[in-house]
Amino acid sequence: MARTSIEWAESSWNPVTGCSKVSEGCKNCYAERFAKRLHAMGNRNYSNGFKVTLHPHMLEVPLRWKRSQMVFVNSMSDLFHRKVPFTYIEKVFAVMREAKQHYFQVLTKRSERLLELSPKLNWPDNTWMGVSVENADNIFRIDHLRQTGASVKFLSCEPLLGPLPRLKLKGIGWVIVGGESGPGARLMRKEWVLDIRDQCFKAQVPFFFKQWGGTNKKKSGRILDGRTWDEVPALALPLRKGRLPATGGTPCEAPLS
């Protein structure tokens, strides 16, 4: 099982590794740094460094995980990168559809290709689709996401690099916010986070605050206004009790614990 330190998932699954920069949020890519380290360590999945690489031998890995869990798909890549063939994306979706015991979270910055391919994909009920929205320049990704067939649609505002006023949250089931971390981390202002949180309250969308970030993210923590914010779509709650709900359902505001 590939455990992950990402606060909003339990495991990661990387049938693809490697990526390329497409927007401002990619500047200090953690995955690129990590891939270089794994390459130096001789990890065979990173023999090509951070070049986009398909790993067919990784496709069936989630089918061997018996315990139900939240799985972040391609934490080290972007499934909708132009160098990932549609036929391979179909194979990834087929595994997610078969692995009914899990929930899968897919995140992309390439919303144009997501929108292009969405009608051709057979969307499983246990597959959640998200887009990264790091600043106002990338608000358009939300409209693309809204038109997909995913059962739960979510936003990852990480690294949050600017204010996001007047977000259109209709049809969005979850919002994650986090500051950039690691070398060269850029500033995230508290007022940006509070504004997004308040917009989520008004729209009754679960709000998850991941971290303040900075060069030492553990030191800066993830407390906002005196508490942690671990809200998730209601579909995820039974995972904490070791069981899954029936497929489908409407996401609503709910705490993680």
Tell me the per-residue pLDDT of 177-210, one tens digit each, with 9 for 90 and over: 999 999 999 999 999 999 999 999 999 999 999 9
Question: pLDDT class for 211, splitting at 50, 70, 90?
Answer: very high
Nearest CA among 22, 50, 17, 16 for reference residue 36 = 50
Identify the weakest region by mean pLDDT among 46-60, 73-87, 226-240.
226-240
What's phi and psi for 98, nearest 5 deg? -75, -35
Residue 5 belongs to some domain of the structure: no
| C-alpha torsion angle, residues 135, 136, 138, 143 (rounded to 10) | 130
End-to-end CA distance of the chain: 22
Residue 229 belongs to some domain of the structure: yes
Query: Mind listing the pLDDT tens digit for each residue in 56-80?
Result: 999 999 999 999 999 999 999 999 9
Average pLDDT, the chain: 90
Query: Mind listing the pLDDT tens digit for each residue in 130-168?
Result: 999 999 999 999 999 999 999 999 999 999 999 999 999
What's the residue count for the chain? 257
Q: Is the pLDDT of residue 53 over 50?
A: yes
Rounded CA-CA distance 206/222 in Å is 16
C-beta separation of 19 from 81 below 8 A = yes
Domain total in the chain: 1
Residue 249 belongs to some domain of the structure: no
Residue 257 belongs to some domain of the structure: no
Rounded CA-CA distance 64/93 in Å is 16
Two tokens, residue 256? 């993680």
Strands 174-178 and 16-17: unpaired
Residue 3 belongs to some domain of the structure: no
Residue 131 belongs to some domain of the structure: yes
Q: Is the pLDDT of residue 226 over 90?
A: yes
Q: Is the pLDDT of residue 242 over 60?
A: no
Residue 248 belongs to some domain of the structure: no
Q: Is the pLDDT of residue 111 over 80?
A: yes
C-beta separation of 71 from 9 below 8 A = yes
Residue 1 belongs to some domain of the structure: no
Nearest CA among 20, 76, 1, 21 for reference residue 46 = 76
Parent domain of 174: 11-20+28-241
18-36 mean pLDDT:
96
Rounded CA-CA distance 188/157 in Å is 11
Query: Mind listing the pLDDT tens digit for each residue in 93-102?
Result: 999 999 999 9
Rounded CA-CA distance 83/77 in Å is 11
